[in-house]
């Protein structure tokens, strides 16, 4: 279930907003310049589908968004639990890359979740907005927006990424420790987002 939780930037002791209603989520994020929408879910696309299958399934939506927004690069990123002995190290490294607060100076961060889930944390106007995204959710974080992303201790998701710049994901890190002061993916996923991680 998609979920938006908002706290004051001072900490998660007080919940300002919590909603799972897609229309309410979109309405709350729009004034921040954040795009949130639901796309039809293709149930016949397995969680571990390769990029070709994902592009084939979501081609009309990808083409429409790319044409409307002028994206130059679209790719598919997937991370799912594996029996590979290196999986714990791979998962930890992938998670840590995005977990610190950062911005993107030259591009928006636009993701559509084909499978699985992840949480985008938006640090805007004195508040932290945690958007728990799942299959069918598209989120667009405007360039310059301070944020971080948590995929959890055992990541499992497939997402389509859209880029205006061919260089792809380039983050400018703020050096803040704020991400460690708010409930992480695992706490939100398990429904225990009322206290810090």
pLDDT at residue 146 tops 90: yes
**Region 60-79 average pLDDT:** 94
In angstroms, rounded to a whole number, what is the distance separating the alpha carbons of residues 57 and 42? 7
pLDDT of residue 196: 37
Q: Check pLDDT > 70 for residue 192.
A: no
Contacts of 100 (CB under 8 A, 6+ apart): 148, 173, 174, 176, 179
Whether 45 has a pLDDT exceeding 60, the answer reads yes
Q: Dihedral sign, CA of 184, 190, 193, 197?
A: negative
- Domain at 3-189, CATH class: mainly beta
162 and 74 Cβ atoms separated by less than 8 Å:
yes
pTM for the whole thing? 0.93
Predicted local confidence at residue 117, as pLDDT:
97
Q: Does residue 197 carry a pLDDT above 60? A: no
Q: Hey, which residues does 9 pair with through a beta bridge?
A: none
Annotated domain spans of the chain: 3-189
- For residue 195, is pLDDT > 70? no
Annotated binding site for Fe(2+): 102, 104, 109, 147
Binding-site residues from annotation for Ni(2+): 102, 104, 109, 147
Which residue ranges are tagged as binding site? 102, 104, 109, 147
Alpha-helical runs (H) found in the chain: 22-29, 51-69, 87-99, 185-189
Task: Please write the tens of the pLDDT for every residue from 160-172.
Answer: 999 987 776 677 8
Q: Which candidate, 192, 167, 145, 183, places its Cα nearest to that of 7?
A: 183
Query: What digits encode the pLDDT tens for the residues 81-126?
Result: 988 999 999 999 989 989 999 998 888 999 999 999 999 999 999 9
How deeply is 149 buried, as exposed, middle or buried, from its count of CB atoms within 10 A (0-12, 13-18, 19+)? Answer: buried
Q: Which residue has the higher pLDDT, 150 or 168?
A: 150
């Amino acid at each position: 279930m998609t979920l938006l939780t908002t706290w004051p930037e001072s900490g998660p002791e007080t919940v300002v907003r919590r909603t799972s209603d897609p229309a309410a989520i979109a309405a709350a994020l729009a004034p921040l310049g954040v795009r949130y929408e639901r796309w039809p879910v293709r149930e016949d696309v397995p969680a571990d589908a390769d990029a070709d299958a994902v592009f084939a399934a979501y081609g009309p939506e990808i083409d429409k968004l790319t044409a409307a927004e002028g994206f130059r690069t679209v790719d598919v990123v997937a991370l799912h639990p594996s029996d590979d002995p290196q999986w714990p190290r791979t998962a930890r490294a992938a998670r840590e890359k995005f977990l610190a607060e950062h911005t993107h100076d030259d591009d928006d961060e636009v993701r559509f979740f084909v499978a699985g889930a992840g949480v985008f944390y938006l640090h805007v106007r004195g508040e932290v907005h945690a958007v728990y995204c799942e299959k069918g959710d598209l989120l667009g974080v405007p360039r310059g927006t301070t944020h971080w992303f948590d995929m959890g201790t055992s990541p499992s998701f497939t997402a389509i990424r859209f880029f205006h710049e061919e260089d792809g994901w380039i983050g400018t890190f703020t050096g803040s420790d704020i991400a460690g002061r708010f409930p992480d993916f695992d706490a939100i996923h398990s429904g225990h987002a009322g206290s810090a991680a």
